[in-house]
Amino acid sequence: MRKSAILEKKANSGLTSEFRRTILENGIRVISERVPYVRSISLGVWVDVGSRDENEKDNGITHFIEHMVFKGTKKRNARQIAEFIEDIGGYLNAFTTKENTCFYVRILGEHLEKGIEVLSDLVQNPVFDKRGIEKEKSVVFEEIKNVEDDFEEYIGDLLEYHIFYPHPLGFPIIGTRKTVAEFTQDKLFEHLKKFYTPNRIVISAAGNLNHDALVDYALKYFDLNLKNGFYHKREKPEVKRAKNYVIEKPSSQSHVCIGTITYGAKDPRRDHVLLLNTLLGDGMSSRLFQEIREKYGLVYSIYSFYSTFNDSGVFGVYFASDKRNVERTLDLIFKEFDSVVKKGVDVYELERAKSQVKSSLLIGLESMSNRMQRLAQIEFVYDGKYSSVDEIISRIEKIQPDEVQEVANEILKPENFTRVIINPSKKSK
């Protein structure tokens, strides 16, 4: 038994894409976008669980499970998993975010069944071999070192930790050495049973595929007798007092990241923040780049960013500079914030920001992987309520300068920005 509906069939730039969504009897959602003018398919099996669904003691377990499923299932060992897809010229991988886990393949259209078969095997039949668990802990410890050595990535993790903690959105996706060391086979299976349930699974696919065939393969390879798990409510993070956090690491520069909590993906003001982010610090024509790098030469790298979760978001700025220039650079950043709040934005720079956002969206759709990920986010964030690209662009086009200024007035308050600074240690000077 299944329910099926065509969400949209619309021509874009003379090319037809068909969006369809089916809910299987056990609650698994299957959503696809047929793009007939390509030869490939990007296919993902998503699970609605991420590091924000963990507690402090098991932080990193979602990411660790993502690693471990590739080490062997009841049907295949690690080598056989890799060869099954690579024998047909495909690509198999996975990633974990703070809110979701995705296992995906990129394959030619004629191999759709093999793609769904191997992905279903990974999420339903992992064995979590005890010796394999201990070996993989060493791999993750090395991954943690890599993150800590990449200051640009590491400081982003530190910023979110200090903005959100003790809320789980502040937990690092990868976990910590202490938590990872404590993972056991029983803990992994307990987490899998709790969260890898039909009502949390979305199968999304984009490319040259037939939706009915995708549904048939899902019915064939996924256990329809699996029961749904408990209802896990995610708590919205509270806005906390801003902090200043300074550490030292061997480095030739200071790395600085500032940020504040703002609107989440479901908030309609997200489009306004997206435009504000673009004109402030996304690209070489942005205010921060022109003022701080081009005019004063204080930095090589500077940009703003806007990260969204279902119910919250972070707006911030990252830069790297000589330690002596950190305070001056921060002053100039907040001066630009103040200018937007008091003087607003120029109609021409807003139009440029709109063009950048629209182009980024449309160019991104040339990637089947991006389309596949977009479909999954429609399910997880917007409960399957599809908005076409034309509708999104129309929303952005309607935004006026005074509306962006109003949003800027709400979020660009210096006292609300947490600051994280990694300064060069004395030995590295």
- pLDDT band (50, 70, 90) for residue 245: very high
- pLDDT band (50, 70, 90) for residue 231: low
**pLDDT tens digits, residue range 349-375?**
999 999 999 999 999 999 999 999 999
Tell me yes or no: is domain 244-428 CATH 3.90.1150.10. Answer: no
Residue 165's pLDDT is 95
Q: Residue 302 has which token pair? A: 């500077």
**What's the CATH superfamily of 2-221?**
Metalloenzyme, LuxS/M16 peptidase-like (3.30.830.10)
Q: Residue 378 has which token pair? A: 């429609």
CA torsion sign for 193, 196, 199, 200 is: positive
The region of weakest confidence among 27-36, 216-225, 229-238 is 229-238
Q: Say if residue 166 is preceded by a cis peptide, omega within 30 of 0.
A: yes
Residue 273's pLDDT is 98
Give the 3-state secondary structure of residue 356.
helix
The CB density around residue 410, as the number of other CB atoms within 10 Å, is 14
The CB density around residue 290, as the number of other CB atoms within 10 Å, is 13
Q: Residue 371 has which token pair? A: 């389309």
Q: Residue 110 has which token pair? A: 């004629």
Q: For the chain, give the percent of residues with pLDDT over 90.
A: 88
Give the 3-state secondary structure of residue 300.
strand
Name the region of 336 (left: φ>0; alpha: ψ -120 to 50; beta: rest): alpha
Q: What is the mean pLDDT of residues 292-307?
A: 97
Residue appearing with tokens 């662009």? 393
- pLDDT band (50, 70, 90) for residue 428: low
Q: What is the mean pLDDT of residues 294-306?
A: 97
Q: Assess whether pLDDT exceeds 50 at residue 4.
A: no
Residue 223's pLDDT is 87
Return the higher-pLDDT residue of 391 and 11. Answer: 391
Q: What is the mean pLDDT of residues 299-307?
A: 97
Query: Distance (Å, rounded) from C-alpha 86 to C-alpha 83?
Result: 5
Q: Assess whether pLDDT exceeds 70 at residue 429.
A: no
> 54, 66, 99, 291: which one is catalytic?
66
Residue 137's pLDDT is 98
Give the 3-state secondary structure of residue 182.
coil
Q: Assess whether pLDDT exceeds 90 at residue 323.
A: yes
Q: What is the mean pLDDT of residues 301-330?
A: 97
Residue 345's pLDDT is 96
Residue 225's pLDDT is 73
Provide the whole-model pTM: 0.92
State CA 356 to chain mean position distance: 20
- pLDDT band (50, 70, 90) for residue 233: confident
Residue 303's pLDDT is 98
Q: Assess whether pLDDT exceeds 50 at residue 9.
A: no
The CB density around residue 266, as the number of other CB atoms within 10 Å, is 14
Task: Pinpoint the residues of the chain covered by CATH 3.30.830.10.
Answer: 2-221, 244-428
54 catalytically annotated: no
Residue 259 pairs with which residues in a beta bridge? 316, 418
Q: Which one, of 307, 333, 321, 353, lies nearest residue 413 by Cα?
A: 333
Residue 348's pLDDT is 96
Query: Distance (Å, rounded) from C-alpha 377 to C-alpha 46?
Result: 10
Burial class (CB in 10 A: 0-12, 13-18, 19+), 183: buried
Q: Assess whether pLDDT exceeds 80 at residue 135.
A: yes
Q: What is the DSSP string of 21-88?
A: EEEETTS-EEEEEE-TT-SEEEEEEEES--GGGS-STTTTHHHHHHHHGGGBBSS-BHHHHHHHHHTT
Q: What is the mean pLDDT of residues 84-99?
A: 98
Q: What is the mean pLDDT of residues 51-71?
A: 98
Q: What is the mean pLDDT of residues 138-159?
A: 97
Residue 3's pLDDT is 46
Q: For the chain, give the percent of residues with pLDDT over 70.
A: 95
**pLDDT tens digits, residue range 417-426?**
999 999 999 7
CA torsion sign for 288, 290, 296, 302 is: positive
Q: What is the mean pLDDT of residues 194-205?
A: 96
- Summary mean pLDDT of the chain: 93
Contacts of 258 (CB under 8 A, 6+ apart): 159, 316, 317, 330, 333, 417, 418, 419, 420
Residue 10's pLDDT is 39
Answer yes or no: are the C-beta atoms of 144 and 174 closer than 8 Å. Answer: yes
